Structure 1
Amino acid sequence: MSDHHFSRLKRALSRAGIAVDYRDGIYRLHNEAAQATVLLPPSLPLEDKAVTQLLGFASVRSPDGEKGVCKACATPDFHPGSVAPVGSVVATDADFVIPAAVGTDINCGMRLLTTGLTLDQVAPHKTRLIERLTRSLLGSSRDVPVHTKAFRALFDVGPEAFLDAVEDDGLWASCDRDRMHSEIEACVGLSSFGGRARHAPEAYTGVRHEVFRDPCLGTPGGGNHFIELQVVDSVMDRHAAYRAGLRAGEVVVMIHSGSRDIGFHVGARWMDRARAEWPQGLRHPKSGLHGLSGPLAQEYLEAMGVAARYAWANRVVLAELVRKDLEALLGAGASRLVVDVPHNVVLREQGLNVHRKGATPAHEGDLALIPGSMGDHSYLATGLGHADWLWSCSHGAGRRMRRQEVRAMRGTPEDGADWQCVTLREERRIEEAPQAYKPIGPVIDAQEKAGLIRCAARLRPWVTFKA
């Protein structure tokens, strides 16, 4: 970043009452109400709107001012969101939460599977594989019946009870239950989510029908969600890659999805509840972020856990749909889960409630997934547990162009590329074009240099499925 650009940025933020300092790739920001830090290399822009949102996030307090945010920071995929900025992490007191910080896509996250197959083995079957996966992942041919008793088990008890309760019908008849049970241990944060079925929509738990064929279960959702076949392009930490079961040249499957309608149901209701609980006559926060304290905070975490558990189940179904097609076409039965990790959720850590809005847990030794765009590399990394950054890393590269800006571009994103996007909606291909995102290289480099992560393997895109 040039001195001229920084001076102009400093003047612009100063007019908004925000002081800024930039040293060693870190912005230090503060106004009269809050302070925050942003890890951002000089080649990537700092957006005024994102700064204002982050400081608004950092300033959230209870109406009496006794509880609130203890620390706020942001990772290099930092950019404006609808209310809270994407790529932000805040820690609050243990009995205080901010529902709007997570929003409606609760436990949006990533899942990475090995296939046991190399690209040389898969490539000759590419056309037929794409046909099968398009029907399974983007079409309406899914057969995933779930008894309402299984959903009640998921929400009231947990993932293990859900797997025990689903019956051998449809997709479930072809699943390896032992493998699915063993993979729960590789799901970061999953064991910490509570839940009660009373927070879920009645259709999932009611008794008026025995089986609910949920139209959302096993779907990626819109926006930047995807299922992507990738190739292990480079092993950067051979010990970590070996432990993860990755080898150069292997095809892997990366899944990015969230809690779909249940997340919207829970998130919207609790954002409304937090606003309604604000005392009459007291000015509402300018940021639009309202916190909840005490018993209401705990009840929100319970409701959030319902949506978080559902998001896990959604990614499980997507993984099993891919596994079923790979096995039917290629006899690939050696698939295993590398990691499943959330990046839009509240987790209790170090006696605090850590809110991650588009940021990934990166505790020491834990695996993290950091995808690029559908035309750029993704990374498997090992967290280093950096407390200054609230034990977190980025959840991707981060957008640099609004969707309406991308729609104005001409040409097909795949022109001359060695990757392919499969979608039933042409606008999705344009809106999610690689040009809409920051380059992943500087985002990764900044985090390695700052000691947030150590990269284990680099993955290049081959075929991306978008709803």
Structure 2
Amino acid sequence: MSSLPRLEKALQRQGIHVERSQGVYHLRNEHAQASVLLPATLALEAKAVRQLLDFAAVRSPDGHHGVCKACATPDFHPGGIAPVGSIVATDADFVIPAAIGTDINCGMRLITTGLKQAALLPQQDALVSRLTRALLENGRDVPVHSAAFRALFDEGPAAFIDRVAPQGLWAQVDRARLEAELAACVGLDAFGGSARYAPDAHVGNREVFRDPCLGTPGGGNHFVELQVVDEIFDRHAAYRVGLAPGDVVAMIHSGSRDVGFYVGRRWMDRARQAWPAGLKHPTSGLYGLAGSLAYEYLVAMGTAARYAWANRVVLAELVRKELAELCGATASRLVVDVPHNVVLRENGLNIHRKGATPAHHGDLALIPGSMGDASYIVRGLGHTDWLSSCSHGAGRSVRRQALRRLKSDHANAGWRCVTLREERRAEEAPEAYKPIGPVLQAQEEAGLIEAVARLKPWVTFKA
């Protein structure tokens, strides 16, 4: 934990004023203001404060459009450009591509397996071997015709499910179940899309495109994790989604991979290029888009967001396939699929969430801890002060570079990390993250969420 008086003095020298009241940091400088929900036991980081206020100050060149509100959840920490855990609202004709970045629709998908941990324990080694090959060793067979990708981008997820050819993985996918599960995907029906914004490789004239990124978790903090339902807090909500103590579930954290990078980078560049010649550029280096360009960005972003949904679907279906072949398990169901890095139109505003999750009243959300800490299924309460959002995890407390030299011993921890890159064990060690308890408690006490169930980690797969 940093010394707040010392931090306050350092920030004041930079023209930033900090006040704390009832668990909330109120930040302001001459250009903007923002709020951060953060327990006193967790550090407020100066770099993240500066990043949040920079985004809160973004305006269009003519000054007619800009940020209406900026806030952050308790997983708040510095990002590459935008701070993680931040929520920025702009008017309906304005967007800030850099607030979302390139990992568009990085999000979480949680499925049940229909199996208890006790039933799977005797087959744990065989299951880990199968999933390692499918998820990490390119042992998947996921052919997709370009026509199916075009249907995904131009028409939407339902069209993709309908058009994908029954080959490889798709030959054994329950399409009716996938179609029914669309209703449990938060925000998915709000994304537009167009094949003209997708990479040429996905929408060309190939009979079959074996996309090297489709069905891969990606690096960093992305994962596929087998978890066990440890405790139920709301038995009615848990019953509705088919959860009981001892159940094994699979949590998937991944995004739009190369498609998101392609879209995000192009539109961040375009926002900078659209700045009027001869007008002084913003000192923050952050640019928004207004009017027709804002609309175009939302369509391009939706294109990548739809791909991220498909990527998580494939990862989930790979898990389902291996469980069906090994154990005969066919009772899996989707609990929820939620986005993180997207812009959604809500109440007449464009809500940009960077590492924050929609938490509208009654909707489920997922808050993972670390691969050695619990994760939670929560129900949103739609708190308007926090733009109907909650955290997307515990949040990093130590940068990856600082952990690469550490060799932590988790041999008897009760969970297991499977990875082909040894540095991941250090970079993503539980010590790298904030404890999930205070992060969850702060949001419950502030009225953002209610906990539904706690999940404990069992086996984590990291690329």
- Give the 3-state SS of the residue equivalent to 1:353 in structure 2: strand
Q: Could you tell me the percent identity over the aligned residues?
A: 71
Contact 1:83 1:288 in 2 (8 A): no
- Picking from 180, 195, 198, the partner of 2:196 is 198
Cα offset, 1:23, TM superposition: 1.1
Alignment correspondent of 2:146: 148
Q: Does 1:388 align with 2:367?
A: no
Amino acid at match of 1:164: D
- Give the 3-state SS of the residue equivalent to 1:188 in structure 2: coil
Amino acid at match of 2:86: S
Amino acid at match of 2:324: E
Alignment correspondent of 2:308: 311
Cα offset, 1:171, TM superposition: 0.2
Contact 1:69 1:91 in 2 (8 A): yes
Cα offset, 1:416, TM superposition: 2.2
- Give the 3-state SS of the residue equivalent to 2:251 in structure 1: strand
Amino acid at match of 1:272: D
CA distance in 2: counterparts of 1:268 and 1:6, whole angstroms: 36
Amino acid at match of 1:205: V
Contact 2:67 2:91 in 1 (8 A): yes
Cα offset, 1:408, TM superposition: 2.4
Cα offset, 1:244, TM superposition: 1.9
- Picking from 262, 267, 270, the partner of 2:264 is 267
Alignment correspondent of 1:163: 161
1:379-419 CA distances to partner (integer Å, 9 max, x unpaired)?
0000000000000000000000011111122334x232100
- Picking from 369, 372, 379, the partner of 2:366 is 369
Alignment correspondent of 2:422: 426
Q: Does 1:438 align with 2:463?
A: no
CA distance in 2: counterparts of 1:8 and 1:424, whole angstroms: 42
Q: Does 1:347 align with 2:344?
A: yes
Q: Which runs of 5+ in 1 are unaligned?
A: none
1:135-174 CA distances to partner (integer Å, 9 max, x unpaired)?
0000112110000000000000000000000011000001
Instruction: Map residues 204-215 of structure 1 onto 2, 5 A cutoff.
Output: 204-207=202-205, 209-215=206-212
Amino acid at match of 1:39: L
Alignment correspondent of 1:107: 105
- Give the 3-state SS of the residue equivalent to 2:76 in structure 1: strand
Amino acid at match of 1:281: G
- Give the 3-state SS of the residue equivalent to 2:261 in structure 1: helix
1:257-297 CA distances to partner (integer Å, 9 max, x unpaired)?
00000000000000000000011222222222200000000
Contact 1:56 1:286 in 2 (8 A): no
Alignment correspondent of 2:450: 454
- Give the 3-state SS of the residue equivalent to 2:69 in structure 1: strand
Contact 2:405 2:426 in 1 (8 A): no
What TM-score does the superposition give when structure 2 sets the normalisation length? 0.99
1:94-123 CA distances to partner (integer Å, 9 max, x unpaired)?
010000110000000000000111110011
CA distance in 2: counterparts of 1:8 and 1:54, whole angstroms: 20
Contact 1:196 1:303 in 2 (8 A): yes
Amino acid at match of 1:429: R
Aligned length: 463
- Give the 3-state SS of the residue equivalent to 2:311 in structure 1: helix
Alignment correspondent of 1:26: 24
CA distance in 1: counterparts of 2:100 and 2:233, whole angstroms: 33
- Give the 3-state SS of the residue equivalent to 1:131 in structure 2: helix
Alignment correspondent of 1:411: 408
1:288-314 CA distances to partner (integer Å, 9 max, x unpaired)?
220000000000000001100000000
Q: Which runs of 5+ in 2 are unaligned?
A: none
- Picking from 83, 86, 89, the partner of 2:84 is 86
Alignment correspondent of 1:238: 235
CA distance in 1: counterparts of 2:382 and 2:166, whole angstroms: 41
CA distance in 2: counterparts of 1:387 and 1:282, whole angstroms: 36
Alignment correspondent of 2:45: 47
CA distance in 1: counterparts of 2:407 and 2:33, whole angstroms: 41
Alignment correspondent of 1:332: 329
Alignment correspondent of 1:247: 244
What TM-score does the superposition give when structure 1 sets the normalisation length? 0.98
